[in-house]
Structure 1
Amino acid sequence: MASFVEIGRYNVIPLSLASLCTCPYRPTLNKTLIFNQKRYPKFNLRIVFDGSRPMFRFRQSGISTNRHFIVAVARAQADRLDEDNAREEVDKGNNLLVIEDSVSERQQKASQLKKRIVSGLGIGISFGGIILAGGWVFTVAFAAAVFVGAREYFELVRSRGITAGMTPPPRYVSRVCSVICALMPILTLYFGQIDVSVTSAAFVVATALLLQRGNPRFAQLSSTMFGLFYCGYLPCFWVKLRCGLAAPALNTRIGAKWPVLLGGQAHWTVGLVATLISVSSIIAADTFAFLGGKAFGRTQLTSISPKKTWEGTIVGLGGCIATSVALSQIFRWPTSLLSAVAFGFLNFFGSVFGDLTESMIKRDAGVKDSGSLIPGHGGVLDRVDSYIFTGALAYSFVKTFLPLYGV
């Protein structure tokens, strides 16, 4: 009696009826498909449709046929298992690489955040002590920061991204301008004003550029003059604000209890209080804008700085005004709530404008940070960009507008 072998018992890859049609058989009306025995003399293949379930059978006509068939099926199954195992190993390896990259990125972000916090606290405490000290301590420390910031600015001007479209000033001119920018705050404190010094410095630098060897270019003159204005002239208003407004803030609660050895109540001048409120408002604006952008940021503010959003800007404005109002209640200056709100709005506008200006310079230079002096923060310009225009706005507001309203 002929024996039968069911293909399904050996887990053979399923064959569709259409694929079987390529073989030399012809379907018959009795629902049985039979191989042509003239071409395949050693075995018969029948596909019997039993109800709704087809059954594949081999009619063995020789021992070697069954053996070869089983070996072929086993080899095919083994090859498929090897391919599956290899694919699983590759998938596991890719998953491990993705996990390792994710963990490494998280660790890097955590480390960078830690550096930013430590550096920020150190800078904040140091700068707060320098503001309280005032006088020459404040001016000399400020001049050192201006010198480093000016060097970073002229390095950005000489970077490959900007020099591709313009001719940068000579290196010796950049160094001289950095020194001039550092001297401007000192001259401001000594003479009480800076207009003549800035005009004289600009004239000397412009003359040196026009009389240089080679072919002088307007791009050299414009970038150098902007550097003197951006890194030298504008920061001098912080010296005028802190040290120039020497009128005592008589209503300040803290000033009434300030130790006599540290200057007593006379130490708390309008310039000191205005500087503390302005600096604190800028810090609050940057902090709240960062947190608001992370939590609610959806709409891009400008293409100059893609990470800034309208939502973060609005939150930063609210934090800046709230800080200005809260500190005005503590220091009892300014006495008008409307003046405190206007002062906070002005500080926020100056900080955003300064930040975007420095971002535009870095974008054209093709760099992420202006330097690497401060761990986790980049260069000096990256930290003081929000303060460059704000000093001039704050000084003009206190000097010009507050007396008009009697506060």
Structure 2
Amino acid sequence: MTSDLPGAGLPGAPSPPPRSARLGRNLAAAIAVGLSLGAVILASLLVQRQAFIIVLAAATAVGTWELAGAFRRSREKIKVPLPVLLVGGQAMVWLAWPFGLRGSAVAFAVTVLVSLLWRMGFGGGAKGSGLNPADGFVRDVGAGIFSAAYVPFFVSFATLLVLPEDGVGRVLTFMICVVASDVGGYAAGVVAGRHPMAPRISPKKSWEGFGGSLLAGMVAGALSVLLLLDGAWWLGAVLGAVLVVTATLGDLTESMVKRDLGIKDMGTLLPGHGGLMDRLDSMLPAAFVSWALLSVFVPVT
């Protein structure tokens, strides 16, 4: 593989980084963790599909905690109302079970309102700092609302996916497409990546990798919708393509957040991956898109 370093091959030029560095991960650890997470998800779906909501609730709590910690470690020391987000996040995930989208939407709105009150000082959010409560109010509230929307509200759509009788197939279709996008993009990027997609946001992403994601995602979507949901294969291919775009945008969004905050990873919970949020980034918006498109492509009977 030809190095992309300027002047590579010339006397005195820097040597290309070792292959492990170019891969960007501890691959063995990443695979082991990925398989473990997949096993937990699959077990919850096969034992009792509603048990998957327990996994979603746990992921919501960890992801929210990691995101709040990332804001706190940022250059501006952004404070979000973590207790409010944790409680509100659980309400969004669980209320989607009996009340559907209305339940999660109401829980989200209440979380936003309580976050405003908390930051004003009614819940202790602005006390003890010795600063004017208005200082950084918009910044902190904006970060709190972003946290509530990006993690638990998006996760609640995964709850909505699992509720129908064919919910296991819907969740597996969603996850298979996103994982295929990640694996296909990673493999194509390592093997043939030459042209950066967004070098100022995520330097390791390439257009070649995106092409690999698109191919893998469309094949995964076609097969999943056909075999798991008894739907038209071409609708599955469309679903896979849209999910690849959505997952890529989700990944780039988190990269933007991390660059803005001046951090490398959201956490250190998962060896080879970083934090749980570093794995959820592409899945969060894709959960909403999967629910929306599958509701149209394979209507619930």
TM-score, normalised with respect to structure 1: 0.62
Tell me if structure 2 keeps the 8 A contact 1:282–1:348: yes
RMSD: 2.7
Q: Which runs of 5+ in 2 are unaligned?
A: 1-16
Alignment-derived partner of residue 149 in structure 2: 229
Alignment-derived partner of residue 208 in structure 2: 311
Tell me if structure 1 keeps the 8 A contact 2:239–2:293: yes
- Look up the equivalent residue of 2:291 and give its one-letter code: Y
Using the TM superposition, give the Cα deviation of residue 273 of structure 1 relative to its aligned residue in structure 2, in angstroms: 1.1
Q: Which runs of 5+ in 1 are unaligned?
A: 1-101, 247-268
Which of these residues, 133, 137, 146, is aligned with residue 51 of structure 2? 137
The yes-or-no answer on 1:182 pairing with 2:90 is yes
> As a proportion of its length, which structure holds more strand?
1
Aligned-partner Cα distance in 2 for 1:206–1:128: 38
Using the TM superposition, give the Cα deviation of residue 111 of structure 1 relative to its aligned residue in structure 2, in angstroms: 9.4
Using the TM superposition, give the Cα deviation of residue 191 of structure 1 relative to its aligned residue in structure 2, in angstroms: 2.8
Aligned-partner Cα distance in 2 for 1:320–1:307: 19
The structure, 1 or 2, with the larger RCO (C-alpha pairs under 8 Å, 6+ apart) is 2
Where 1:307 maps in the other structure, the secondary structure is strand
Aligned-partner Cα distance in 1 for 2:246–2:254: 12
The superposition leaves residues 173-231 of structure 1 with CA deviations (integer Å, 9 ceiling, x where unpaired) of 22331232133211221333312221122111112223445322211111111111111
The superposition leaves residues 16-56 of structure 1 with CA deviations (integer Å, 9 ceiling, x where unpaired) of xxxxxxxxxxxxxxxxxxxxxxxxxxxxxxxxxxxxxxxxx
Tell me if structure 2 keeps the 8 A contact 1:288–1:315: yes
Alignment-derived partner of residue 177 in structure 2: 281
Alignment-derived partner of residue 242 in structure 1: 162
Q: How does 1:8-407 map onto structure 2 within 5 Å?
A: 112-161=26-75, 163=76, 168-169=78-79, 173-192=81-100, 193-211=103-121, 212-213=126-127, 214-216=132-134, 217-243=137-163, 245-246=164-165, 269=166, 271-302=167-198, 303-331=200-228, 333-334=230-231, 336-403=232-299
Aligned-partner Cα distance in 2 for 1:130–1:397: 24
Residues 134 and 202 of structure 1: is their aligned pair in 2 closer, same or farther, counting only changes over 3 Å?
farther
Using the TM superposition, give the Cα deviation of residue 134 of structure 1 relative to its aligned residue in structure 2, in angstroms: 4.4
Q: Which runs of 4+ in 1 moved over 3 A?
A: 133-136, 400-403
Where 1:368 maps in the other structure, the secondary structure is coil
Aligned-partner Cα distance in 1 for 2:289–2:31: 28
Residues 388 and 332 of structure 1: is their aligned pair in 2 closer, same or farther, counting only changes over 3 Å?
closer
How many corresponding residue pairs? 274
- Look up the equivalent residue of 2:251 and give its one-letter code: D
Using the TM superposition, give the Cα deviation of residue 106 of structure 1 relative to its aligned residue in structure 2, in angstroms: 5.9
Aligned-partner Cα distance in 2 for 1:393–1:370: 24
Residues 180 and 339 of structure 1: is their aligned pair in 2 closer, same or farther, counting only changes over 3 Å?
same
Larger radius of gyration: 1
Using the TM superposition, give the Cα deviation of residue 138 of structure 1 relative to its aligned residue in structure 2, in angstroms: 1.0
- Look up the equivalent residue of 1:112 and give its one-letter code: N
Residues 300 and 129 of structure 1: is their aligned pair in 2 closer, same or farther, counting only changes over 3 Å?
same
- Look up the equivalent residue of 2:107 and give its one-letter code: S
Using the TM superposition, give the Cα deviation of residue 299 of structure 1 relative to its aligned residue in structure 2, in angstroms: 0.8
TM-score, normalised with respect to structure 2: 0.83
- Look up the equivalent residue of 1:229 and give its one-letter code: A
